[in-house]
Each structure stands twice: as structure tokens, then as C-alpha cells.
Amino acid sequence: MKKKPVTKQLHQQHLAQVIDRNIDTLLEMRQQLEQAKSIQDKIADWITSFSGSMVFLYFHVIWFAVWMLINTSLTSIPAFDPFPFGLLTMVVSLEAIFLSTFVLISQNRLAQVADQRADLDLHVNLLGEYEVTKILKLVDAIADHMGIDACNDPELEQLKVEISPDQVLQEMAKRKKKA
């Protein structure tokens, strides 16, 4: 059996620990979000989940078929909602109103979670941008100190300038108006 170089083993172990830590953190955050849900949110999520399942579809196919069979006098059971099935239409309409409300409740809660994740992503991206800018400046200073000509690349000079998120958003809005 061929052994991996020690540096590769250490790198993989370190990477695995970081990944394990991040996975544990994400799972813990999801568990906290799940525990923080109110009973109403849990009910809305369950109804939304069930109404988006194949079992729900099969139930409705069977329900509509039985309803129509009974009410078209194809069975020995007396019809209680003859064609055009006014009662069925009313029941299905009410069901649609309630289901859409439950779906909207679940989507609103999920949108809040998505906004939190987007805020975290933005924060991490801004922090990464700030750190990279500082590193570029530091590397440039080290090169100057060591007398290394770090080719005067105008793009590199632009990357060393700290950018405000507000400036980027304003420029995006300005260009959107022009388009």
C-alpha cells in the first residue's frame, strides 16, 4: 500500500476538520430554526409538504373519480351532487383557498430564512473582498520592501482600492436606468 506524503495527509485532515465543523454548524443552525418554528408554522409546513406530494394527488384522483361515479348515477348510491357538481366545485374552491394560504405562509417563512442566508453570504463576500484587498496591499508592500518589481499592472492597482458596497449598488442602479 502506497503512503501519501505527510503534507498531503495533513492538508486533507485539516480540510476535513474544517468541512466537518462547517457541516456541524449548518446542521445546528437548521435544527435551531426548526425548533424555533411555532406550532402554526409547523402545521403550515406539514400541510404544504403533504399537498405537494403524490399521495395528495392520488387521494384527489380517487376522490374525484368516486364523486363523479356516484353523482352520475353509475353506482347504486343515490346522487347528492348531480352534474355540473356544484358542491364539489365549492369544496375544491375552498380547499384551493386554504392550500394557497398555507403555501404562502410557508413561503414567507422560507423567504425570511433565505434573506438571512443571503445576508450572511453578503457579509462573508464583503469580508473576503476586504481581506483580499488588504492581502494585495501587504504583498505589494513586501515586494517594495524586498526591491521586487511587481510589474505596474493597472488592474492590480485597481484591485488594491477598497470598494464600498454602496458604490457598487449605486453604479448598478445607474447602469440599469441607462439600459
For residue 4, the one-letter residue type is K
- Segments forming the whole domain that contains residue 30: 1-36
Please tell me whether residues 152 and 84 are part of one structural domain.
yes
Q: Rounded distance, CA 92 to CA 64, Å?
A: 10
> Do 64 and 144 fall within a single domain?
yes
Residues 24, 44, single domain; the answer is: no
pTM score of the predicted model: 0.63
- Asked if 100 and 155 sit in the same domain, the reply is yes
17 shares a domain with 71: no
- For all residues of the chain together, what is the average pLDDT? 87
> 43 lies in a domain?
yes
pLDDT of residue 170: 87
For residue 178, being part of any structural domain is answered with no
Cα separation, 42 vs 21, whole angstroms: 28
Looking at the domain assignment, is residue 138 inside a domain?
yes
Domain total in the chain:
2
Same domain, 146 and 158: yes
Q: How confident is the model at residue 2 (pLDDT cuts 50, 70, 90)?
A: low
Residue in 89, 160, 179 with CA at minimum distance from that of residue 81: 89
Q: Are 81 and 87 in contact (CB under 8 A)?
A: yes
Q: Tell me the C-alpha distance between 99 and 76, whole Å.
A: 33
Residue 3's pLDDT is 57
Question: What are the tens digits of pLDDT across the range 67-82?
Answer: 999 999 888 999 999 9
